[in-house]
């Protein structure tokens, strides 16, 4: 490799986030429709499929209103809310099965201690749609519920379904889900002296503090994530208007836009926030994963640097006790078919997954990436026509009947290619991964030639600045130990590239082709 190309490889590595060191990026998957509402055989089959795809974790919801006794009662029943054995035991069985199936498949479970609240635990008792009570949940009662869940999945609680055995331990937790979204917490804003002021961040801070203390008390090794925030907020204000995530985070830390402490009653007793990470759901919706929201307080995937900067500032000013890595705990694209309202094409979903994985991988403080749903959610009962059938989430790698989408292969082998213009000319940066992350893999990158033939291209290994060993130029190369690679090749005009995994048995598997213009 000549010195000029070698120096350019260093520049590309720096520009794209390559550090030269192997970097793990575990991926979590959530599909409560399967994991909490299917038969044991279907749940076990789903977790085995997740493991084969290369999933590392499975995210599950411990629904407060689902597990609590008498959730429709206006008056709190008499029971020890911190004791899992004081809850209706049949309600635990679904979550028990899911946690057990996840660990049996060799994966790690994580739990959101989350929505919605039982009626007796909220301030406003009026009937909510389908029992979705969320108006000012009682933070102390929520902390007791978190303790009950933590005790059950501490690794020390007996398993009712397997005499003589213990339920598996869970060590990664999130407190609530999208507290900046009105579907999960109300009110978002309240009127104070005639002005709308954020309310949900201060309510959520109390809830998080209570749950954090409970989870750490049961096991100090538990990792507890703050936030779980939605990517976007509303430009309007009102009880039902979501708060943009960075505005929510500033209020949570009791600072204004310039970092000055807020002078509000809710902040009088503020203590620095405690957590082990910050969970976020940076959906890009219809846009490409690298798109940026025009609202500077929103955080889509292409805006993760905004969140990183905010967390660092809050740490440096003492509003957070430690530096918080980012955990992307929910992400994905709905497809058309079947979603005629919000869906992108099947091919676009597959290509977007490669770019999204690349964006998350190059952001050094991102510790977890996500795929929301294994299978599309079945249409609502009684739905008439494609619009009503599109009401629920359709971000699965598979259709709801189990048929695979092109995104299945994109998930197993994320791949992205893009042109880079540098002083020495034009190059194509090539990023990819092979899941599961079980050591180095032999790879090639191919370019589509005449008559749809695929030709291996010579690629160059990128190196960090100061590395005395320049990258090798070759058609065949190895990934790092985590299954990732980042390489470059000279730009040869418009072309389509794909990754080829050369398996130990000589067989090949291919990533989704990516056009470069």
In a domain, 392, yes or no: no
In a domain, 397, yes or no: no
Q: Are residues 426 and 324 in the same domain?
A: no
Name the domain boundary from 307, 338, 372.
372
pLDDT at 384: 85
Query: Both tokens of residue 251?
Result: 């209020």
Q: Are residues 480 and 337 in the same domain?
A: no
Number of structural domains in the chain:
2
Q: Are residues 354 and 453 in the same domain?
A: no
pLDDT at 150: 98
Q: Are residues 210 and 299 in the same domain?
A: yes
Q: Are residues 449 and 511 in the same domain?
A: yes
- Residue whose token pair is 């503020």: 270
Q: Which of 120-129, 442-451, 490-499 is predicted with the least confidence, judged by mean pLDDT?
A: 120-129
Q: What is the mean pLDDT of the chain?
A: 93
pLDDT tens track for 283-324: 998 899 999 999 999 999 999 999 999 999 999 999 999 999
Mean pLDDT of 78-107: 97
Q: How far apart are CA 340 and CA 296, in angstroms?
A: 29
pLDDT tens track for 200-212: 999 999 999 999 9
Query: Both tokens of residue 137?
Result: 């949940």
pLDDT at 60: 98
User: Given pLDDT bands bounded at 50, 70 and 90, which one contains residue 465?
Assistant: very low
pLDDT at 440: 95
Secondary structure class of 515 (helix, strand, coil): strand
pLDDT tens track for 9-38: 555 555 555 555 689 999 999 999 999 999
In a domain, 140, yes or no: yes
Secondary structure class of 288 (helix, strand, coil): coil
For residues 48-75, one letter each, b for 16 or more C-beta atoms within 10 angstroms of the residue's C-beta and e for the rest, the string is ebbbebbbbbbbbbbbbbbbbbebeeee
Domain extent for 481:
3-12+416-516
In a domain, 31, yes or no: no
Name the domain boundary from 337, 372, 407.
372
Cβ partners under 8 Å of residue 250, min gap 6:
256, 257, 310
Inform me whether the pLDDT recorded for 154 exceeds 90: yes
Name the domain boundary from 372, 400, 426.
372
CB 367 within 8 A of CB 319: no
pLDDT at 436: 83
In a domain, 384, yes or no: no
> Which ranges in 322-405 belong to alpha helices (H)?
346-362, 385-389
Cβ partners under 8 Å of residue 402, min gap 6:
375
Q: Are residues 438 and 366 in the same domain?
A: no
Q: Are residues 430 and 367 in the same domain?
A: no
Q: Are residues 359 and 463 in the same domain?
A: no
Q: Which of 195-199, 309-313, 441-445, 470-474 is predicted with the least confidence, judged by mean pLDDT?
A: 470-474
pLDDT tens track for 317-360: 999 999 999 999 999 999 999 999 999 999 999 999 999 999 99
In a domain, 389, yes or no: no
In a domain, 96, yes or no: yes
pLDDT at 184: 98
pLDDT tens track for 360-407: 999 999 999 999 999 999 988 888 888 888 889 999 999 999 999 999
Q: Are residues 345 and 450 in the same domain?
A: no
Q: Are residues 113 and 222 in the same domain?
A: yes
Mean pLDDT of 70-81: 96
User: Given pLDDT bands bounded at 50, 70 and 90, which one contains residue 170?
Assistant: very high
User: Given pLDDT bands bounded at 50, 70 and 90, which one contains residue 438?
Assistant: confident
Q: What is the CATH number of the domain that holds 505?
A: 2.60.40
Inform me whether the pLDDT recorded for 237 exceeds 80: yes
Query: What percent of the chain is predicted at pLDDT more than 70?
Result: 93
pLDDT at 13: 56
Q: Are residues 364 and 421 in the same domain?
A: no
In a domain, 258, yes or no: yes
Q: Are residues 421 and 308 in the same domain?
A: no
Q: What is the CATH number of the domain that holds 174?
A: 3.20.20
Inform me whether the pLDDT recorded for 221 exceeds 60: yes
């Amino acid at each position: 490799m000549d010195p000029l190309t070698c120096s350019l490889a260093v520049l590309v590595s720096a520009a794209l986030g390559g550090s030269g060191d192997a970097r793990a990026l575990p991926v979590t998957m959530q599909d409560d429709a399967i994991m909490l509402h299917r038969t044991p055989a279907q749940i076990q089959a789903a977790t085995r499929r997740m493991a084969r795809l290369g999933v590392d974790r499975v995210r599950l919801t411990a629904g407060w209103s689902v597990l609590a006794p008498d959730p429709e009662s206006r008056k709190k029943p008499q029971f020890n809310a911190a004791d899992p054995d004081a809850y209706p035991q049949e309600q635990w069985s679904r979550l028990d099965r899911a946690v057990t199936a996840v660990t049996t498949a060799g994966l790690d479970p994580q739990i959101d201690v989350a929505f919605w609240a039982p009626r007796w635990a909220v301030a406003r008792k009026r009937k909510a749609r389908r029992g979705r009570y969320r108006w000012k949940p009682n933070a102390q009662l929520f902390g007791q519920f978190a303790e009950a869940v933590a005790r059950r999945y501490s690794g020390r609680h007996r398993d009712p379904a397997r005499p003589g055995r213990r339920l598996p331990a869970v060590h990664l937790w999130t407190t609530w889900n999208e507290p900046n979204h009105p579907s999960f917490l109300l009110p978002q804003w309240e009127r104070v002296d005639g002005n709308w002021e954020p309310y949900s961040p201060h309510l959520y801070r109390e809830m998080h503090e209570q749950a954090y203390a409970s989870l750490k008390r049961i096991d100090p090794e538990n990792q507890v994530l703050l936030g779980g925030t939605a990517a976007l907020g509303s430009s309007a204000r009102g009880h039902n208007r979501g708060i943009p995530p960075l505005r929510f985070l500033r209020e949570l830390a009791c600072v204004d836009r310039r970092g000055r402490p807020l002078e509000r009653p809710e902040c009088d007793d503020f203590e620095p926030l405690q957590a082990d990470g910050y969970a976020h759901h940076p959906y890009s919706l219809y846009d490409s994963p690298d798109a940026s929201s025009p609202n500077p307080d929103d955080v889509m995937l292409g805006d993760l640097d905004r969140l990183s900067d905010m967390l660092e500032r809050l740490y440096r000013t003492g509003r957070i006790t430690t530096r918080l890595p980012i955990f992307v705990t929910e992400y994905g694209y709905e497809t058309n078919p079947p979603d005629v309202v919000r869906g992108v094409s099947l091919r676009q979903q597959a290509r977007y997954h490669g770019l999204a994985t690349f964006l998350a991988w190059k952001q050094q403080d991102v510790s977890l990436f996500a795929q929301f749903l294994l299978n599309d959610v079945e249409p609502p009962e009684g739905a008439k026509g494609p619009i009503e059938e599109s009401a629920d989430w359709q971000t699965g790698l598979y259709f709801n009947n189990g048929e695979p989408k092109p995104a299945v292969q994109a998930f197993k082998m994320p791949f992205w290619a893009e042109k880079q213009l540098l002083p020495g000319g034009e190059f194509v940066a090539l990023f990819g991964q092979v899941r599961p992350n079980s050591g180095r893999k032999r790879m090639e990158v191919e370019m589509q030639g005449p008559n749809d033939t695929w030709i291996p291209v010579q690629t160059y290994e990128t190196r960090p600045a100061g590395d005395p060993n320049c990258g090798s130029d070759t058609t065949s190369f190895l990934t790092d130990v985590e299954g990732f690679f980042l390489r470059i090749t000279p730009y040869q005009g418009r072309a389509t590239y794909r990754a080829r995994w050369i398996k130990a048995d000589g067989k090949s598997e291919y990533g989704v082709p990516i056009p470069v213009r």
